[in-house]
Amino acid sequence: MNDTQLLSLDLNGKVALIVGGGAGMGEQSALKLGAAGCSVVVADVDQRAAQNVAAKITANSGKATAFVGDALDSANVADLISRIEQQVGGIDILVCIVGQAHWSQFLDLSLADFDRDHHRNLRYVFAVSQAVARSIVKRGAKGAFVFIASVSGVQSAPNHAAYGAAKAGLMNLVRSMSVELAEKNIRVNAVAPGAIATPRILASFPEGEASPALSVMLRTIPMGRMGQPEDIGNAVLFLSSALARYITGQTLIVDGGLTAGLSLGTIKPDVTPPVK
């Protein structure tokens, strides 16, 4: 592409694998990449969810295939990648969405729970990305990896020790991979969401929008609202595209300004601190 030409989000001809693409941020990432021209592989443990997302893409004149597989089981990873390559083609774009947090006070956190959070947020990403990277290098192709981190890996949060450590580790893995894989023409980046209104997050507030806990949380966000799964999908699309062709080893924070300032905790906005 000539430098004077306008770079675009056109990903026509690329194959994108979305691990955990059946709902929420994964679904939106799949839809965005499908609209940009990718042949999207929607991989999820929930067959119906994967099929529903794939159907939405094809209904919009896109290309998509649903695959059922558990990426958390490292024994399944090689088989999953092999099946995808045989049926769809070599993977150019890898997006890992799967992640889950265990909330527990540090003194009550068990080693099993700590290991579980690292397995669900870090270990599987290593296994999947290594398998896909090896395939890309073998084919002599180019690649773009985008992983979902979290603001919990940027700043600490109460009762979040295991999850925060895993996401911080994921962001460092991104940097390490980017350094080693740059010469292999593979870019590696992450997106760190703040409070995103996914079905799972919304379900944690039984009172819905009237929840006092939700009200307190929104006060910590400068933009005053939760993000939408589509906001993360947009970030994934950008980092997967030629618009980000010189970006690697980075974590793009998408949090409405949450981590940009200093939280004042319980200080009410109508209280003016005394001047000394």
20: CB partners within 8 A, 6+ apart: 26, 43, 44, 71, 96, 97, 98, 99
Start-to-end CA span in the chain (Å): 60
Q: Parallel, antiparallel, or unpaired: how do β-strands 63-68 and 39-44 relate?
A: parallel
Check: CB of residue 145 under 8 Å from CB of residue 132: yes
Q: How far apart are CA 152 and CA 11, in angstroms?
A: 31
Q: How far apart are CA 238 and CA 234, in angstroms?
A: 6
Nearest to 69 by CA among 60, 61, 79: 79
Q: What is the largest CA-CA distance in the chain?
A: 70
Q: How far apart are CA 26 and CA 176, in angstroms?
A: 24
Check: CB of residue 239 under 8 Å from CB of residue 191: yes
Per-residue CA distances from 163 to 68, 107, 152, 154, 168 (Å): 26, 15, 7, 11, 9
- Please state, as a whole number, how many other Cβ atoms lie within 10 Å of the Cβ of residue 246: 7
β-bridge partners, 94 = 17, 145
- Annotated catalytic residue: which of 27, 163, 178, 258? 163
Q: In 3-state terms, what secondary structure has residue 144?
A: strand
Catalytic residue check, 246: no
Catalytic residues, by residue number, are: 163
